[in-house]
Chain A
């Protein structure tokens, strides 16, 4: 059972920093599954629950994105609060693009009070790629100073201002990493820095280039980071060769190798092929030493995500 609201404030289980199910699964050595929920352009809670239902059945935690791609949707904190009410375990994503340190520290307390027990600290895409490019980019924190700040709030019981927090937010701290884009050599070092800042788990961006990711993981193991942080590899289905090409040139930080696009091009049913590639990716990730789980994303296709997870066989193999 999950720790959901309304629940009185209480200490996390022994050896844990939070009441998060994701944290429990990871610490117990099981292969974790997280999935991304795409926020509706609506104020109706039913729209959130409809998207959450297929994911809740297969995932240990559901990520509520925070205006990803700098496009405006229902807020991550709103979705997270709705999810905890229904017994789901959300990952509250915080992007540094839209809010300053005063807003973010307050929201962290609010989210924790609403029963949120996972956060994901992100830099955020530039406002220029979104639907409102004239917006003022904030970037008061970056993802690392944000991690360290929440860690300070949790462990030292104080704001960055030094003021005391009576009951600290019990949050499992996450960050993102993008292993498949430059500067390649520095990505593992940057991961080390995120761990140093306070990251306890990592969800990566989409990975389509397995050899490149394996190289990254080899270095991660050399640095001993796989022992210090849980890494969830990001995967997702491609819709078609055209969509893949479009993503590659229009969405920041996505690298799709030509070989994968070729395979999509040659497929009779590109949709099926995209799914198949994704399932294969999940199975490959499972075999890579140091990978503790997968993070499955597909824009507004929550049912497909659920099918992919079921068909990959990871649920059966981890005997829940």
Chain B
């Protein structure tokens, strides 16, 4: 899948376009999804999302997809899972410090971003991943978040993260989520 991932990054601009369309569709679907119940659609949508994104991006289902801010190079493939750019150990030729046979995920990311319309999003500081969202659907989260963008935040804790990383929330709300999470999407909740 490494080859396909490289292909996706090379064509970051096209994938960015496709992703924007997908996002608009998801936002438009929010009322429908809310009616069916996000809890009910969580599992099936997450399954489809996983299949598609694993093939294309070597997706690790962190649940807080930020591909549009990382040149379409999935940062969860970085062995250190950095969310904000390359570490100080990148090898000559742009290879990874930890996995020398792989290109540095972040060298690829800046490269991908340079071809994207919204590539400047890569300059925004992203918060740490909320590990309890792992495995949940990012697409559904996007739809919830964008729809809830103006809605009042309910949980103080998550508001603090969103406040501390305001740029990230403006670019990709699901990186610092505020909307109410269905129980199915959060690990350890009943």
Range for the number of chain A residues in contact with chain B? 35 or more
A160 touches B161 (CB 8 A): yes
Interface centre among A124, A139, A185 (most CB of B within 10 A): A139
Verify if B25 is at the interface (C-beta below 8 Å from A): no
> Which residue of the partner chain A has the closest CB to B85?
A190
CB distance from B122 to the nearest CB of A (A): 8
Q: Provided the pairs A137-B79, A192-B123 are in contact, do residues A252 and B111 lie with their beta carbons within 8 angstroms?
A: no
- Please measure, in the bound complex, the distance between the C-alpha atom of A192 and the C-alpha atom of B82, giving whole angstroms: 17
- Please measure, in the bound complex, the distance between the C-alpha atom of A205 and the C-alpha atom of B90, giving whole angstroms: 13
> Which residues on A sit within 8 Å (CB–CB) of B81?
139, 142
Complex interface bits, B143-182 against A, C-beta within 8 A gives 1, otherwise 0: 0000000000000111111011101000000000000000
Interface centre among B87, B124, B167 (most CB of A within 10 A): B87
Verify if A110 is at the interface (C-beta below 8 Å from B): no
Verify if B40 is at the interface (C-beta below 8 Å from A): no
Verify if B38 is at the interface (C-beta below 8 Å from A): no
Verify if A193 is at the interface (C-beta below 8 Å from B): yes
List B83-119 residues whose CB lies under 8 Å from chain A: 83-94, 97-98, 104, 106-107, 110-111
Verify if B125 is at the interface (C-beta below 8 Å from A): yes
List A130-156 residues whose CB lies under 8 Å from chain B: 137, 139-145, 148-149, 152, 156
CB distance from B176 to the nearest CB of A (A): 11
Please pick, from A162, A176, A183, the residue contacting B110 in the complex, using a CB distance under 8 A: A183
Verify if A271 is at the interface (C-beta below 8 Å from B): no
Interface centre among A142, A156, A177, A181 (most CB of B within 10 A): A142
Verify if B80 is at the interface (C-beta below 8 Å from A): yes
B111 touches A141 (CB 8 A): no
- Please measure, in the bound complex, the distance between the C-alpha atom of A101 and the C-alpha atom of B84, giving whole angstroms: 16
A126 touches B90 (CB 8 A): no
Instruction: State the majority secondary structure of interface residues on B.
Output: loop
Please pick, from B98, B123, B158, the residue contacting A126 in the complex, using a CB distance under 8 A: B98
> Which residue of the partner chain B has the closest CB to A128?
B98
> Which residue of the partner chain B has the closest CB to A158?
B160
CB distance from B170 to the nearest CB of A (A): 13
Q: Provided the pairs A123-B87, A140-B128, A183-B90 are in contact, do residues A189 and B110 lie with their beta carbons within 8 angstroms?
A: yes
> Which residues on A sit within 8 Å (CB–CB) of B158?
162
- Please measure, in the bound complex, the distance between the C-alpha atom of A125 and the C-alpha atom of B82, giving whole angstroms: 12
Verify if B135 is at the interface (C-beta below 8 Å from A): no
> Which residue of the partner chain A has the closest CB to B113?
A186
Please pick, from B94, B97, B156, B163, the residue contacting A183 in the complex, using a CB distance under 8 A: B94
> Which residue of the partner chain B has the closest CB to A140?
B128
B83 touches A162 (CB 8 A): no
Q: Provided the pairs A123-B82, A126-B80 are in contact, do residues A152 and B164 lie with their beta carbons within 8 angstroms?
A: yes
Verify if A161 is at the interface (C-beta below 8 Å from B): yes
What are some 30 contacts across the A-B interface (CB < 8 A)?
A: A123-B82, A125-B97, A126-B79, A126-B80, A144-B84, A148-B125, A148-B164, A156-B164, A159-B160, A160-B160, A162-B157, A176-B88, A178-B88, A181-B88, A181-B90, A182-B91, A182-B93, A183-B106, A185-B110, A189-B110, A189-B123, A193-B84, A193-B85, A196-B123, A196-B124, A197-B84, A205-B88, A252-B88, A253-B90, A253-B97
Give residues in A with beta carbon < 8 Å to B.
96-97, 101, 123-126, 128-129, 137, 139-145, 148-149, 152, 156, 158-162, 176-178, 181-183, 185-186, 189-190, 192-193, 196-197, 205, 252-253, 255
Task: Pick the 7 closest A-B CB pairs, nearest first.
Answer: A252-B89, A162-B160, A144-B84, A178-B88, A126-B98, A142-B82, A152-B164
Known: A123-B82, A144-B84, A185-B110. 8 other contacts (CB 8 A): A126-B97, A139-B82, A145-B127, A145-B128, A160-B160, A181-B89, A181-B91, A183-B90
